[in-house]
Amino acid sequence: VIKCKAAVLWEANKPFSIEEVEVAPPKTHEVRIKIVATGICRSDDHVVTGALVMPFPIILGHEAAGVVESVGEGVTSMKPGDKVIPLFVPQCGECSSCLSTKSNLCSKNDICSAAGLMPDGTTRFTCEGKAVHHFIGTSTFTEYTVVHESAAAKIDSAAPLEKVCLIGCGFSTGYGAAVQTAKVEPGSICAVFGLGGVGLSVVMGCKAAGASRIIAVDINKDKFAKAKELGATDCVNPKDFKKPVEEVLTEMTGHGVDYSFEVIGRTETMTAALACCHNNYGVSVIVGVPPAAQKISFDPMLLFTGRTWKGSVFGGWKSKDSVPKLVADYMKKKFVLDTLITHTLPLTKINEGFELLRTGK
């Protein structure tokens, strides 16, 4: 058992508490990882606010990179000392999704079931004698974590962990939504709603795919300079207009965009993103995690005319196969990650980090 520091969330709408936790050794087909760097993602905050329902107490965090400390019996794909990225979408290689070329959401994921436990139905964390839940099979707001072997990818030993941790969620999710889920073609017109780390990664994906016009949409105009730096050609603040943003985008393009991406997780922007794409061949992709217990109502004529509405989890990448390749592409300078990193803080200042997220900084 390893004793270490972790940020524990005891209940919703409360700050994280830095605690000493006990991390059990890995069982069969499990890996214990020393976390070197972890990103703060809006999906973690959705658990804090109750928009994403998970059991408490819990150790959040799912976008990280670290070094294997020890492995359980039967682990063959990695050994102690290997650099790895934990995978919140595992890849078991055996379920219908893993076996299909069309999908990536392995049935062993804990996003849909939200049990907050390891695949065997138990936890590896205890704090003050209480069992602490895992978060979507990763739990990275801790100095050490345990994941299933199918939920970690071995990466290049030369990779800078404080940069490539973003490939564990934000970058891959956004970039893949454009190049993998939507399959944006050269010359396309795209609209991206929400310019956080994931939205900016969608912008990068659209640019890499050769889009001729990338319209960045956000109510925080401070995000526009960075969006332009990464490839946005136009920036739209819905607050500047009296009419709905979908009408603004349709007028700007003459017929609507080819591809739109909702990267916020709000039902109103999901329907606006659908409505702003071309009425016959437009494709709209939901990238932001939808809030719990909210339903969407929309005019079905939006779909009847031919639009496609899709979802994308982890950018459509098969995680264990794709993450090492994405890290290799980063090492070959095929894309940048540094631009997405605004602040670096110690684990003890995690609450300040979440404040920066909530204030759009």
- Mean pLDDT rounded to a whole number for the chain: 96
Quick one: pLDDT at residue 262? 98
Known catalytic residues? Answer: 41, 43, 46, 62, 169
Domains 2-170+316-359 and 182-311 belong to one CATH topology: no
- Per the DSSP assignment, residues forming a β-bridge with 217 are 193, 236
CB within 8 A of 141, min separation 6: which ones? Answer: 6, 7, 16, 38, 44, 59, 60, 61, 347, 350
pLDDT tens digits along 219-242: 999 999 999 999 999 999 999 999
Is the model's pTM score more than 0.85?
A: yes
Share of residues in the chain with pLDDT > 90 (%): 96
Structure tokens at 72: 């359980």
Architecture field, domain 182-311? 3-Layer(aba) Sandwich (3.40)
Quick one: pLDDT at residue 288? 87
- Per the DSSP assignment, residues forming a β-bridge with 236 are 217
pLDDT tens digits along 277-323: 999 999 999 998 888 878 999 999 999 999 999 999 999 999 999 99
pLDDT at 342 over 90: yes
162-194 as b/e: b if 16+ CB within 10 A: bbbbbbbbbbbbbbbbbbbbbebeeebbbbbbb
Quick one: pLDDT at residue 289? 86
Structure tokens at 28: 């069969």
Architecture field, domain 2-170+316-359? Alpha-Beta Complex (3.90)
Per domain, the residue ranges of the chain are: 2-170+316-359, 182-311
pLDDT tens digits along 127-163: 999 999 999 999 999 999 999 999 999 999 999 999 9
Quick one: pLDDT at residue 140? 98
pLDDT tens digits along 13-28: 999 999 999 999 999 9
Provide the pLDDT confidence category of residue 78 given band limits of 50, 70 and 90: very high
d(CA 167, CA 320): 12
pLDDT tens digits along 246-262: 999 999 999 999 999 99
Only one residue has tokens 């078991």, namely 92
Quick one: pLDDT at residue 114? 86
Q: Cα separations (Å) of 7 from 4, 114, 145?
A: 10, 19, 12
pLDDT tens digits along 154-210: 999 999 999 999 999 999 999 999 999 999 999 999 999 999 999 999 999 999 999
Q: Is there a contact between 322 and 90 (Cβ–Cβ < 8 Å)? A: no
Quick one: pLDDT at residue 171? 98
Quick one: pLDDT at residue 279? 97
